[in-house]
Every structure is written in C-alpha cells, then in structure tokens.
Amino acid sequence: MKIAFYGDSLTAGIPGVSYFNILRQRLPEHELLNFGQPDDTVLSLYQRIVEDDLLEPVDLAFVWIGTNDIPQELDGFVGLMRRLWRKFRSQNPGEFKEYYRALLELLTPYAPHLVTVSPLLNGEDLSNYRNRYLARLGRIVRDVSGEYAGVEYLDVRALFVERLAGRRPTQWQASVANTLRDTLLRTEEEIDERALERGLSLTLDGVHLNSVGARIVADAFEQVIERVAAARQHEA
C-alpha cells in the first residue's frame, strides 16, 4: 500500500526517536510517505498541504496534528519566526474544530481510509493545563472524525496515559532552546539517556518521543496498517 503520514515534528521524527523509521524497517513491503514538519499546527498543516501540493491518492493516510495548537503568546525571536513561518495556532477549541474539519474535507477524497490520531502530550505531568487542553482537543478530533465515513480515530494518547498512571510526574517542560539542542542527539541511546536525566518515561522532553514512546506509537500504527492491508487483500 501507499501510506501517507501528515503532521508536525512527531510525524517528522525530529528530535527524538522516530516511530516512522521504526515502521519503515518493519514494513518494507509498503510505500511510506512522511509529510511531517516541525511546529506545524492544524491550520499551518492545511496551508502547507495546499501550497506544497502534497495531495496525492494513497491507500491509507494518518493525520497526527494538534500538539502545537495550545494558545500562547510568544514574544521576541520565537514569536517572530512563527509569524514569518505562518505557524498560526487556533485560539480556542471552537476554532480548532473548524480548522480540523476543513483538514479532513481536504484529505478524505484522496484516502479511502484515513486515521486521525489524538494529540499527545505537553509534559508528562497529566494534570497540567497544557495536557488538560490537549485532552479536550483529542475529544474534538474524535467527534469530528465520527462525521466522516472511512475515517478512524486512533487514541494513542490513551496508551501513554495508561503507561504514566501511578508514576510520580516530573515537571520537566520542553523549551525552544532545549528542542534545538536535542536535534543534535542521533542515537536511541543518547536520546534515552537524556530522557532519563530529565526523569521522563516515554518522551525526550515531554513532547517528542524516546525509544519507549516511539515503539508504543509504532505498534499502534502497525496494527492499523496490518488490519487495513488484510481487509484490502480479502476484498481482492
């Protein structure tokens, strides 16, 4: 099958351990296309798909976006660069829902089976405001996905929440400076060692994945791919 992956830095696989590379090693019989770009939001992903002509017929598509759609005011260099790169965030859940629906309207004609993936984490402390907001966005993704035939919602966040249950949460929080430095980490060993230093279990920095988190995601995606491939083979 030809399979497309649309999303932000989690899809791109930088920084951290790339679930996409794990899938590519496991599934050489399929053509995997990575359309992830760091710092993308649901709106900037929509714009990039249109402007960069990323629409092409595929057998299966995954959309993993939303982690960057937490409203925040950013001043100085970071805010300027995000404005220049047009990485505009939805300002409230209603706006996110509107943009997400537009994204599905754009993609569904090109993929007979489309999988929408829940926004993941912003820190491994599930009680913080950012994670509560992402949980709300995940429910929106689930509800909007239910409006379309051929669209399946995959709640990867729930797998992470289950693994983090009962653990003492670390207060480590990702920053732009740390993220830039973390892009220099190349091996799984380096990434996992840095995560351990920060007291993190599933991520490198509270957002991007260490080897444990990447394999949780890869396993969940692989199960969907194998199921869809088996269904297509049965239909043939």
Per-residue pLDDT tens listing for the chain (236 residues): 999 999 999 999 999 999 999 999 999 999 999 999 999 999 999 999 999 999 999 999 999 999 999 986 555 444 545 555 556 788 899 999 999 999 999 999 999 999 999 999 999 999 999 999 999 999 999 999 999 999 999 999 999 999 998 888 787 777 777 888 888 898 999 999 999 999 999 999 999 999 999 999 999 999 999 999 998 887 76
pLDDT at 33: 98
- Terminal-to-terminal C-alpha distance of the chain: 13
Find the DSSP H helices in 52-167: 76-84, 93-107, 129-145, 156-164
Instruction: Return the residue matching tokens 């080897």.
Output: 211
Burial of 135 (0-12, 13-18, 19+ CB in 10 A): middle
Angstrom distance (rounded) from CA 136 to CA 93: 8
Burial per residue of 175-205, b for 16 or more beta-carbon CB atoms within 10 angstroms, e otherwise: eeebbeebeebeeeeebbebbeebebbbbbb
**Angle of the 129-145 helix axis to the 93-107 helix axis, nearest 10:** 40
What 3-state class would DSSP assign to 32?
strand
- Lookup result for tokens 């399929």: 30
- 3 state SS of 114: strand
Peptide bond into 119 cis (omega under 30): no
Helix (H) or strand (E) segment spanning residue 154: strand 151-154
Distance, in Å, from the CA atom of 43 to the CA atom of 89, rounded to the nearest integer, reads 7
Count of all residues that appear for the chain in the document:
236
Report pLDDT for 88: 74
Place of tokens 């930088």: 14
Instruction: Note whether 99 and 141 are within 8 A (CB).
Output: no
C-alpha neighbours within 13 Å on the C-beta side of residue 189: 0
The pTM of the full predicted model, rounded to 2 decimals, is 0.92
Type of residue found at 187: T
**Predicted local confidence at residue 35, as pLDDT:** 97
Beta-bridge partners for 61 = 4, 114
**Amino acid 83: pLDDT:** 55
**Would you tell me the crossing angle of helices 188-197 and 211-235 to the nearest 10 degrees?**
130
So what's the pLDDT on residue 85? 54
Q: What pLDDT, on the 0 to 100 scale, is given for residue 77?
A: 45
